[in-house]
Amino acid sequence: MKSITHIFFILLVFISACNVSAQDGTIRNSADKLHKNIGVAVSNKFFTFPDNHEYKTILKSEFNILVAENAMKPSSIESVRGEFNFSKPDSLIAFAIANNMKVRGHCLVISRPISNWMDNEQMTREELFAILKEYITTVVSHYKGKIYAWDVVNEAINIKETDGYRKTIWYNVLGPQYIDSAFVWAHQADPNALLFYNDNSGETLGGKSDAIFNLVKGLKDRNIPIDGVGLQCHFKLGQTNFEEMKKNMDRIAAIGLQTQITELDISIPQSMFNEDSYKKQAEEYKQIVSLFLNDKNCTCLLFWGLTDGFSWIPKKSKNTRGKGLILSEDYSKKPAYYSILNLLQESNTK
Ligand code: XIL
């Protein structure tokens, strides 16, 4: 009898220990308590690869917000003119709702990739305006009330151009006015969704962030419905000045716009894949997450992929860089994961 009681007691301690680690030991648990949105971009493999149980389990236990890495881009939703295919994003949203997670929409207007039929500069201005309006209205209405924030226009700036605009089909045929119109149409379709301008390489101070700032200030001044700026944050280890980033975030806040960290990764050169780099990476992740936690105006932080195995960086950099995320290919937790978790847990005890 005594030994049965003993076993029972051990079992009880074990079960409660499991509960503690399941509930308290995740990024999500701390983020929820702090009312902070922390999430990841979901790979297209979410929809197709058979052995995705572990992937999905980690998504829902570690994060409270999701974005589709590619499945909600126009090339995926309207690859054929007039045929809107919502199956992938719908299943992502169903997963998010079932697990009490938010969804961020990425993105309505993008330069590349876009469907071949759309990428046609022979179209008249009127025709292309109508296509864009139909696209934005259809997609935003379909997800009305389900997508909490949209990247309305993505990467419209190129500071190497004399007028500062990236020369896309949208700009070439419609002129810069497409940006104002896109925000107006998105707002008409879902007045409650938060609307963002999203771009890269403009997180700290400099020509690109000045251009982004001027663009969004212009939108605000013209009363275009914009709520914030998405800072993509595709960083390279050792190259980000976080004090400058804070200054940039503050000037955006000063004109009444939110910021969101939308596509974070901190990649490492291939020749430096070692423990020392992972420690430095953990330190930088700590700096940016602490910036995020200390800034009420910065309302979301998303990593651009769940593990190093799902990151876009190796392909993009022709394998010269990688290992930019907080979990390894085999889902094991990197020093960056623990530095973030510790910071979140500390913030919860303050
Ligand atoms: C990238 C995806 O991660 C890749 O899988 C895809 O091949 C190309 O697009 N900025 C953006 C994202 O706004 O849409 C990009 O995503 C990464 C850079």
d(CA 292, CA 301): 7
Q: Given this model, what pLDDT does residue 23 score? A: 43
User: What average pLDDT does the segment 167-173 reach?
Assistant: 96
Of 261, 226, 326, 303, the C-alpha closest to 66 is 303
d(CA 28, CA 36): 9
Is 232's C-beta closer than 6 angstroms to any atom of ligand 1?
A: yes
- Residue pair 252/231 in contact (Cβ under 8 Å)? The answer is no
Strands 321-322 and 258-269: antiparallel
- CB under 8 A, 24+ apart: contacts of 54-61: 54/331, 55/306, 56/95, 58/306, 58/327, 58/331, 59/95, 59/99, 59/306, 60/28, 60/95, 60/99, 60/101, 61/22, 61/26, 61/28
* Residue 148: predicted pLDDT: 97
> How high is the pLDDT of residue 4?
54
pLDDT surpassing 60 at residue 18: no
Asked if residue 77 lies in contact with residue 139, where contact means CB atoms within 8 angstroms, the answer is yes
pLDDT band at 11 (very low <50, low <70, confident <90, very high): very low
Question: What 3-state DSSP class applies to 108?
Answer: strand
How large is the average pLDDT for residues 319-323? 98
Determine the pLDDT at residue 317: 98
Told to judge if 69 belongs to the known catalytic residues of this protein, a careful annotator would answer: no
State pLDDT tens for residues 280-289: 999 999 999 9
Q: Model's pTM, two decimal places?
A: 0.93
Averaged pLDDT for residues 225-244? 98
**Rounded to whole angstroms, what are the CA distances from 18 to 14, 60, 118, 252, 341?**
6, 17, 52, 43, 17
pLDDT at 13: 46
CA-to-CA distance for 319 and 98, rounded, in angstroms? Answer: 37
**263 catalytic per annotation:** yes
Chain segment 29-47, per-residue pLDDT in tens:
999 999 999 999 999 999 9
The answer to whether the CB of 263 is under 6 A from ligand 1 is: yes
pLDDT tens, 120-160?
889 999 999 999 999 999 999 999 999 999 999 999 999 99
From the list 62, 78, 155, 284, the catalytic residue is: 155
